[in-house]
Amino acid sequence: MNIAIKTLGCKANRYESDVLLKRLSGAHEVFEMNEGVSTFQRRAQADFDIAVVNTCTVTHVADRKSRQAIRSLKSANPSCKVVVFGCGPNVAREDYEKIVEVDEVFGNVDGVIEFIEKLGARDDNNGECGIDGGNNDSLRTRAVVKIQDGCNNYCAYCIIPRARGPEVSFDKDKILEAVRRKEEAGFREIVLTGIIISNWERDGMDFADLIEFLLENTSSVRFRISSIEPQNFSDKFVRLFGWDRVCPHVHMSLQSGSDSVLERMRRKYDVALYLDVCKRLRDTVSDIGLTTDVIVGFPGETKEEFMATCDFVRDIGFLKMHVFPYSRRKNTVAYHMEDQVAENVKKERAEKLRKISNKLGVAFMRGLWGNEYDVIVETCRNGVCTGVTPNYIPVQFSCSDEDGGEGKSGDLVGKVFKVQMEKLKKDGLVEAIIC
């Protein structure tokens, strides 16, 4: 059968879709849908018998996008079976069961596999999904390895603990085995992911120990850290960013630059700690890319508290901020809080903060003109390659015939070029030249 997999949300979801892809590939054709339905069908050159949607529920917008994906897939191919799993059903299964376009709803990969087997599709891996997902996506040049799942934080606004359950840290040797398979398969970068990865702790080791263990037992692959919390940055962990195989990029959630808002959110840090971590990181790697998430319009957020956030993010100088208007979620503490902020105010604050984010990103990138970075080619068309620097700046550069470029574009994906940063293009990419 032809199976399409649509993934929404975080890198943990990405990992779980990789697991599904690995377990199903070989028995039939499995496609990742990273674009619109019509574009996907042209690329795949096939209709699909089963459409699997891996849902996200972190905000009401994420819920809406999940529902839109379900309906667009069914509309494009009415005869297909639409199967839904992931965080959405784990939080509100009954809501997804009511969607007329949905044929089956499951909480995890195993449920999806069991259903597909009943339709006659074979699980070639006999249920052994491993910890590393699959190596089947030729469209991506970095692999994802999940090291941890679940969350015990129970922040006032967040539904994820209910969707993911309590924290669990995976075995270090199994993680290393997964990483080595990725390295042997030719991946040059591995993203370590989970829900609260900085809380990884097992057999007397913490997250910094795990990173050191992986570095010492691999040869060339570089590691990128996905979302992390500021309260877990030991001196040892900060020093690891001085290694050339640890990408100098940290996505560290802020959520608010106001201590009073952070307290109401039930976050486990204050702005002083956050600022200290950023300072120590930049003392270790001056051009480290710092990215973050910020929620605006949390219940009771005053104009003064919002302005404190604006001032704080300017002080940090982030490369990129993901700005979210507060999303009211049932079964969370914040849902019942008084002084809910009006939607128009949340929208205005989000727009203001995004403008600040854009200015900060441009200023950070312009401060790097002339710097040289090793870039893994992610796409290459007509001799023009794109990728991201280790500190997470999107770049574009041209390859001549001498570089192996024009006429050989497909062969360049996954290769590494040292490039020099030159100027910012209007589309947000940095134009670079091969050194």
Per residue in 229-264, pLDDT tens? 998 889 999 999 999 999 999 999 999 999 999 999
Residue 6 lies in a domain: yes
What are φ and ψ of residue 149, in 5° steps?
-145, 160
CB atoms within 10 A of CB 22: 21
Confidence tier at 149 by pLDDT (50, 70, 90): very high
Buried-exposed string 175-196: b where 16+ CB fall within 10 A, e elsewhere: bbebbbbbbeeebbbbbbbbbb
Confidence tier at 158 by pLDDT (50, 70, 90): very high
| Mean pLDDT confidence for 374-380 | 92
Q: What is the pTM of this model?
A: 0.85
Domain end residue (candidates: 91, 118, 145): 118
Condensed to tens digits (0 to 9), the pLDDT of residues 208-236 reads 999 999 999 999 999 999 889 998 889 99
Give the residue with greater pLDDT, 131 vs 435. 435
Q: Which two tokens stand for residue 24?
A: 């199903």
Per-residue CA distances from 185 to 141, 219, 222, 287, 348 (Å)? 11, 13, 14, 30, 47
Q: Which two tokens stand for residue 38?
A: 């019509």
DSSP assignment string, 139-187: T-SEEEEE-EE------TT--HHHHH-S-EEPPHHHHHHHHHHHHHTT-
Residue 393 lies in a domain: yes
Residue 415 lies in a domain: yes
Residue indicated by tokens 């690891």? 240
Confidence tier at 42 by pLDDT (50, 70, 90): low
Residue 193 lies in a domain: no
Residue 54 lies in a domain: yes
Q: Is the pLDDT of residue 306 over 50?
A: yes
| Mean pLDDT confidence for 122-142 | 49
**What is the three-state SS of 223-290?**
EEECCECHHHCCHHHHHHCCCCCECCEEEECCECCCHHHHHHHCCCCCHHHHHHHHHHHHHHCCCCEE
Confidence tier at 41 by pLDDT (50, 70, 90): low
| Mean pLDDT confidence for 104-133 | 69
Poorest-pLDDT segment among 25-29, 274-278, 284-288: 25-29
Please tell me the predicted confidence (pLDDT) of residue 19. 87
Give yes or no for a contact between 397 and 409, defined as CB atoms under 8 angstroms apart: no
Confidence tier at 59 by pLDDT (50, 70, 90): confident
CATH of the domain at 89: 3.40.50.2300
Condensed to tens digits (0 to 9), the pLDDT of residues 319-338 reads 999 999 999 998 999 999 99
Please tell me the predicted confidence (pLDDT) of residue 327. 92
* Percent of the chain whose predicted confidence (pLDDT) is above 70: 90
Amino acid in position 129: C
* Angle of helix 303-316 versus helix 271-284 axis, rounded to 10: 10
| Mean pLDDT confidence for 332-359 | 97
Between the ranges 125-139, 175-189, 257-271, 405-419, where is the mean pLDDT highest? Answer: 257-271
Give yes or no for a contact between 91 and 162, defined as CB atoms under 8 angstroms apart: yes
Contact partners, residue 331, CB within 8 Å, separation at least 6: 91, 159, 162
Residue 12 lies in a domain: yes
Q: Domain range holding 376?
A: 372-434
Domain end residue (candidates: 77, 100, 118): 118
Residue 104 lies in a domain: yes
Give yes or no for a contact between 93 and 66, defined as CB atoms under 8 angstroms apart: no
Please tell me the predicted confidence (pLDDT) of residue 406. 46
Please tell me the predicted confidence (pLDDT) of residue 21. 87
Please tell me the predicted confidence (pLDDT) of residue 48. 82
Residue 186 lies in a domain: no
Please tell me the predicted confidence (pLDDT) of residue 103. 94
The single-letter DSSP state of residue 403 is G
Please tell me the predicted confidence (pLDDT) of residue 426. 82
Distance from C-alpha of 261 to C-alpha of 300, rounded to nearest angstrom? 8
Confidence tier at 404 by pLDDT (50, 70, 90): low
Kind of pairing, strands 50-55 and 2-7? parallel
Please tell me the predicted confidence (pLDDT) of residue 31. 83
Give yes or no for a contact between 182 and 143, defined as CB atoms under 8 angstroms apart: yes
Distance from C-alpha of 422 to C-alpha of 395, rounded to nearest angstrom? 10
Kind of pairing, strands 289-296 and 148-149? unpaired
| Mean pLDDT confidence for 193-221 | 95
- Split into its structural domains, the chain has a count of 2
Poorest-pLDDT segment among 75-79, 99-103, 136-140, 309-313: 136-140
Q: Is the pLDDT of residue 102 over 90?
A: yes
Confidence tier at 89 by pLDDT (50, 70, 90): very high
* Angle of helix 60-76 versus helix 37-44 axis, rounded to 10: 50
CATH of the domain at 423: 2.40.50
Q: In the chain, what is the greatest distance between 2 CA atoms, to the nearest angstrom?
A: 65
Please tell me the predicted confidence (pLDDT) of residue 44. 61
| Mean pLDDT confidence for 392-411 | 70
Domain end residue (candidates: 60, 94, 118): 118
Average pLDDT, the chain: 89
